[in-house]
A and B are shown apart, each in its own frame.
Chain A
């Protein structure tokens, strides 16, 4: 209670500060002049934007607004496989590579190339999986992901994605923020900034992790230079979903409400004075936190789902798992969350230890993620959500067709090094072709030879499906307009339905 009294006196003091004689005199002199000047300046501003019926963002920075073009999807679920899964063991079937297994790599292939670990001349490594054509589309699927055949006709493969980053952190940042360096807003932040949040009780951008925190750190869902209300909210699937959301002992919900309202009142006075959007952010975050106290535990609770749905995903209630996160992602999208970002850590199969071996750790990752991903797509489909949701799957880069030889010595376990030149990603959902393959790599999966797409192209396509022109969707910062794709990016029209 002591704390509360302290808070109460603080409230009174601050409130008084806004209503003093000095304040009156100051505002009457400077204020009036300011108002006059303000109206002059306002009339200088060209007001040629035609009136539109979008909600007013002035006081609610998360108010949902419409994009410039009619969107194909309204939400995104991005499944980022942290560590970069091997495309050669999952989707990119290379029979030629089998023939070259354990033979030294031709010098011409590695000359002048930069690898994270490969040194000298490595051997080639044949596919560590068997492949079969599945579904009506007849696309190649590896035996490590048997459930994928149920959704193969729903997805569009991008088989020749390339990135110029070959280390995890920068490559993840590039994938998620459009720059390998820190400081740019993540895709989810851009999207929440551009579209707002439909649900007034849940954040617009939620992040769920499994296996560990990605190498790129929390900047991967940071707001960069956008107001901080647009940053991703990380929810934990184990324990309290959001830390410090519970009421402290001795504080009732009503008391909390009064406190939040009082603080917001003061903050709003502050905002009226300085017009700093960060103050609005703070106000909305207090309000959001208050509402989230009841809404988040309910959306994060997977126990109420029917048993067979839980079985389909393979969830482990009470634990932190990718399966839980997939089910949560569906629930969130259903409840109006705009952008759900999943990070699943542990795909860095160098062959430098059991967990990193293509024959051990990798197989476990495949097993743990195959069922939930297939379940997610099917569950979205049966609820009609797949028509208006975009699901993106991928790592930050791919893996080499060579057997990694760390420090020039072939690793004892089977593994591959990082490769940015060519790797596979897939997308599914509204506005996309189904069962389609775009792009092709050479006979050993080392380079893209057809339909190469860059990270920026993928970002441009995501924004396109959400109703934005990625070249016009900008934010003014440090004297110039910034965009997610910077000066790059072309929409991958070939995969659009």
Chain B
């Protein structure tokens, strides 16, 4: 009963701490404007008295929170010390104001500066505990553009099957669903799960993995308990494991909880592989690009150019000039702002010429390029060799010259080039025989009569 009351009181810590913060800031403001306000000394006494009282109360609730919330001393020590210091400073300033103490000699300015600094430090450290240390750094980094990398977002099964199941799948699940309460800072039940070493150590009731009878492992039992059970993990209020995650973790425990065994050794069922991995390599690039800005998209749309993401949630775009056949070389500058976002570009039937290639080479993620029914001859198509993602090029009914055909085979990822020309009319088709027909499609199919 009393315990529960103390836990409750502790949980109010994040609320209480704002009282001394408010008083101290008010006090500093009054002190800074003391010339304007005639009553400043009396007011300051009142303000810093209450700052001290609420400060003490904050320390008490904070201590209760530390005792019952599963936090480690290492995590909270500096926040705690800074908090105590803040309260002491407030109280000494109060004592100085009532003029009967030894603190009279210390200059008021020093008090104010020290109190401001310490207050900021305490608040920041407290924030780090509740929100995580990345809390401020992350948006700042994003703001100044540091650390914005083109990251992989894709788990291709073939790439992962030789790697340990634990580090590739199990630990990431734990990181997502368990580590919030079982980490180096906060370890409910004295259990830490943020790495394999700590996981092996177990919690206050010993190891959570039972190697002799895996089904009796604490971890195994708790994730299988009904959600209503008190011992069910993750707790009812937290983010739950999915059906597939439960069966994967169970499989891992039943098979000896190995940290080294590779994905393929676990002989996972197809549905589990499908759930945790991508079994098919996606057609479009694997990197993440920043979102295109909406203004440029609207501007492009106004020019009757079709532009849409490749799927509803993608930052990659598909562009076609199907409804604006007057499109000329220079119009490509409309797209230059979002060049990196464009993975599919259809300029068929437009007025473009070979000089378009010098502009197209900046579309680094371009995967599909359609130039059908244009006057392209291919003269400068070698400039596109920098496009490492280019997979399909459509050159149907163009004036593409034979001498440039083999340049296309040197493109890093090229899969198919469509070079069919209606005007060929089965004349002189032998000249195509020297080209790799896996890459080049010359068409000119016929059906016997």
Most buried by B among A51, A66, A309: A66
Residues A68 and B323 in contact, CB atoms below 8 Å apart = no
Q: Which residues of B contact A13 (CB under 8 A)?
A: none
Select one of B308, B322, B441, B442 contacting A53, CB under 8 A. Answer: B308
Distance, CA A467 to CA B317, complexed state (A):
15
B60 to chain A, nearest CB (A): 40
Q: Digitize A282-315: 1 where CB-to-B-CB distance is under 8 Å, 0 elsewhere.
A: 0000000000000000000000001011001000
Q: Which residues of B contact A375 (CB under 8 A)?
A: 447
Cβ of A382 within 8 Å of any chain B Cβ, yes or no, is yes
Residues B426 and A381 in contact, CB atoms below 8 Å apart = no
Cβ of A374 within 8 Å of any chain B Cβ, yes or no, is yes
Question: Which residues of A from 458 to 497 have beta carbons under 8 Å from B?
Answer: 467
Residues A55 and B314 in contact, CB atoms below 8 Å apart = no
Q: Digitize B271-312: 1 where CB-to-A-CB distance is under 8 Å, 0 elsewhere.
A: 000000000001110000001101001000100101111111
Cβ of A70 within 8 Å of any chain B Cβ, yes or no, is yes
Query: Closest residue of chain A to B415, judged by CB?
Result: A387
Evaluate whether A383 and B420 lie within 8 angstroms (CB atoms) in the complex, with A53-B292, A70-B282 already known: yes
Distance, CA A375 to CA B447, complexed state (A):
7
Residues B309 and A52 in contact, CB atoms below 8 Å apart = yes
Residues A308 and B446 in contact, CB atoms below 8 Å apart = yes
Cβ of A69 within 8 Å of any chain B Cβ, yes or no, is yes
Query: Closest residue of chain A to B443, judged by CB?
Result: A382
Cβ of A411 within 8 Å of any chain B Cβ, yes or no, is no
Residues A371 and B313 in contact, CB atoms below 8 Å apart = no
Q: Digitize A360-384: 1 where CB-to-B-CB distance is under 8 Å, 0 elsewhere.
A: 0000000000010011001101111
B47 to chain A, nearest CB (A): 39
A461 to chain B, nearest CB (A): 15
Query: Closest residue of chain A to B292, judged by CB?
Result: A53
Q: Digitize B402-433: 1 where CB-to-A-CB distance is under 8 Å, 0 elsewhere.
A: 00000000000000101010110110000000
Evaluate whether A52 and B312 lie within 8 angstroms (CB atoms) in the complex, with A312-B445, A383-B420 already known: yes
State which size class the interface on B falls in. 35 or more
Evaluate whether A68 and B308 lie within 8 angstroms (CB atoms) in the complex, with A382-B443, A383-B418, A383-B443 already known: no
Evaluate whether A382 and B284 lie within 8 angstroms (CB atoms) in the complex, with A68-B311, A200-B323, A308-B425 already known: no
Q: Which residues of B contact A51 (CB under 8 A)?
A: 294
Distance, CA A64 to CA B308, complexed state (A):
8
Q: Which residues of B contact A71 (CB under 8 A)?
A: 310-311
Distance, CA A251 to CA B304, complexed state (A):
29
Q: Which residues of B contact A348 (CB under 8 A)?
A: none
Cβ of A130 within 8 Å of any chain B Cβ, yes or no, is no
Q: Which residues of B contact A335 (CB under 8 A)?
A: 322
Question: Which residues of A from 58 to 107 have beta carbons under 8 Å from B?
Answer: 64-71
Cβ of B251 within 8 Å of any chain A Cβ, yes or no, is no
Q: Which residues of B contact A150 (CB under 8 A)?
A: 445, 447
Cβ of A201 within 8 Å of any chain B Cβ, yes or no, is yes
Select one of A50, A66, A336, A383 contacting B308, CB under 8 A. Answer: A66
Evaluate whether A381 and B441 lie within 8 angstroms (CB atoms) in the complex, with A53-B317, A70-B282, A371-B447 already known: yes
Residues A68 and B306 in contact, CB atoms below 8 Å apart = no
Q: Digitize B307-351: 1 where CB-to-A-CB distance is under 8 Å, 0 elsewhere.
A: 111111110011010110000000000000000000000000000
Query: Closest residue of chain B to A496, judged by CB?
Result: B280
Cβ of A134 within 8 Å of any chain B Cβ, yes or no, is no
Residues A382 and B441 in contact, CB atoms below 8 Å apart = yes
Residues B322 and A384 in contact, CB atoms below 8 Å apart = no
Query: Closest residue of chain A to B393, judged by CB?
Result: A384
Q: Which residues of A contact B425 (CB under 8 A)?
A: 306, 308
Cβ of A147 within 8 Å of any chain B Cβ, yes or no, is yes
Cβ of A119 within 8 Å of any chain B Cβ, yes or no, is no
Cβ of A199 within 8 Å of any chain B Cβ, yes or no, is yes
Evaluate whether A198 and B310 lie within 8 angstroms (CB atoms) in the complex, with A306-B425, A309-B422, A387-B416 already known: no
Total A-B pairs, Cβ < 8 A: 100
Evaluate whether A198 and B426 lie within 8 angstroms (CB atoms) in the complex, with A53-B317, A70-B284, A382-B445 already known: no
Distance, CA A401 to CA B422, complexed state (A):
45
Residues A382 and B444 in contact, CB atoms below 8 Å apart = yes
Residues B320 and A312 in contact, CB atoms below 8 Å apart = no
Cβ of A3 within 8 Å of any chain B Cβ, yes or no, is no
Distance, CA A387 to CA B392, complexed state (A):
10
Residues B308 and A65 in contact, CB atoms below 8 Å apart = yes
Q: Digitize A176-202: 1 where CB-to-B-CB distance is under 8 Å, 0 elsewhere.
A: 000000000000000000000011110
Q: Which residues of A contact B307 (CB under 8 A)?
A: 53
Question: Which residues of A from 295 to 346 have beta carbons under 8 Å from B?
Answer: 306, 308-309, 312, 335-336
Cβ of A54 within 8 Å of any chain B Cβ, yes or no, is yes
Residues A54 and B309 in contact, CB atoms below 8 Å apart = yes
B157 to chain A, nearest CB (A): 15
Distance, CA A55 to CA B301, complexed state (A):
9
Question: Which residues of A from 419 to 457 have beta carbons under 8 Å from B?
Answer: none
Cβ of B396 within 8 Å of any chain A Cβ, yes or no, is yes
B4 to chain A, nearest CB (A): 35
Residues A382 and B420 in contact, CB atoms below 8 Å apart = yes
Distance, CA A335 to CA B372, complexed state (A):
12
Residues A312 and B308 in contact, CB atoms below 8 Å apart = no
Select one of A50, A55, A306 contacting B422, CB under 8 A. Answer: A306
Evaluate whether A308 and B309 lie within 8 angstroms (CB atoms) in the complex, with A198-B320, A199-B323 already known: no
Residues A66 and B311 in contact, CB atoms below 8 Å apart = yes
Query: Closest residue of chain A to B394, judged by CB?
Result: A384
Q: Digitize B66-100: 1 where CB-to-A-CB distance is under 8 Å, 0 elsewhere.
A: 00000000000000000000000000000000000
Distance, CA A68 to CA B311, complexed state (A):
5
Residues A374 and B447 in contact, CB atoms below 8 Å apart = yes
Q: Which residues of B contact A379 (CB under 8 A)?
A: 445
B280 to chain A, nearest CB (A): 8
Select one of A50, A147, A198 contacting B322, CB under 8 A. Answer: A198
Select one of B292, B313, B441 contacting A384, CB under 8 A. Answer: B441
Distance, CA A70 to CA B284, complexed state (A):
9
Distance, CA A177 to CA B442, complexed state (A):
38
Q: Which residues of B contact A55 (CB under 8 A)?
A: 301, 308
7 A-B pairs with CB atoms under 8 Å apart are A65-B308, A66-B318, A201-B323, A308-B425, A309-B422, A383-B418, A384-B392
Residues of B within 8 A of A (CB): 282-284, 291-292, 294, 297, 301, 304, 306-314, 317-318, 320, 322-323, 372, 392, 394, 396, 416, 418, 420, 422-423, 425-426, 441-447
Q: A54-B308, A200-B323, A308-B446 are in contact. List 5 more A-B contacts (CB 8 A).
A: A52-B312, A53-B317, A66-B309, A382-B445, A383-B420
